[in-house]
Structure 1
Amino acid sequence: MNRPLPSGSAAHAAPADLSEVMQQVARGDKQAFSVLYDALAPLVFGIAVKVVRDRAQSEEVAQEVMIDLWRQAARYRPDAGSVATWAATVAHRRAVDRVRSAQAAVDRDNAQAAREHRTAFDEVAEQVETRLEGEQVRRCLRGLTELQHQAVTLAYYGGLTYREVAQALRTPLPTIKTRMRDGLIRLRDCMGVTT
């Protein structure tokens, strides 16, 4: 959509004269930029739409490219190609960057969701496993003799040494060692642990 421009040298520039318009833009001529914008915006937007495939994002890319052309007009070199080619190159690069950035954001979100999902699953699985093991241990402990149960409980849940267990239960140390060995064998068999 072309807008009416005031008369002046930049206002009458044809697309073939865009390198001259670009020189005027490089000197800060806003009317020249208006001509440049009208001449190149459709091309830039078209490239953005082909690459980005989202109209709103393509409009943003096109605006960014046009701002780049304004800011970097002094860098344009006519011997390197036409203004339209330069603008198309800038537009393509900017559009590809937008797609890569969007894809990287999606990849980061997916990776984070996978980590959170895996963590939540692992925590639940671990809690269930711990609960089941705890129930199995309690069931197996009930199958021990009273002395075996007391000795194993004091040693493994109370953190006592064999000697301290013997003192706490007022039982000779060799008897505690035998009861502990026998109790642990029964627990192992009950829990289905193989060695």
Structure 2
Amino acid sequence: MENKENNVVNEVQGQENTEVEAKETKTFTQEQVNEMIAKRLQRERKDIEAKIEAERKEAEELAKLSEQEKQKKLFEKQVKEFEETKKAFENERLLNETSKQLASKNLPIEFAQMLKGNDAESTFENIKVFETKFNEALEKAVTERLRGSSPKVATVSGGITKEDFKKMSLSQQAELARKDKDLYLELSK
């Protein structure tokens, strides 16, 4: 009987949880969706127009320059693009190397982005410090878990004698059976 009541309570709680989850889901009307899309398109259009305007101004400036100045300006632009590409490549290479170093030291590679420095030396120093602190924290957590709690000393009869058990009312005996079934079985023999 009691199990059925618990099951009913659990089912009701489960239904309440799904109702709460359903309420948390946000829905939008078609009008709201259209408005969000329109705003996004407007932002994109502004960005594209700004890029086009910048290109147009650059083209006008180049048209005013002599052939030699045009070549110089284009060369400077290419050098700038090359430097940006090189910097991005070095950044990726350093991130890759950081991940390899972390993996070789059995450290989580998810921290690579945070540990990556401006150069290989600073990255290596960051990894050394992280390794030390990570291992200390890990050791502390393991020690704490292993420590646990000391085992409890079991009482032979839980402080209740057979005579005490015989003097108990049926409701008290039923309560004991629910709380400590082994003790109840031992005392009811």
- TM-score category, normalised to shorter length: 0.3 to 0.5
- The one of the two structures with greater contact order (alpha-carbon pairs below 8 A, sep at least 6) is 1
TM-score, with structure 1 as normaliser: 0.31
TM-score, with structure 2 as normaliser: 0.32
- Structure number with larger C-alpha Rg: 1
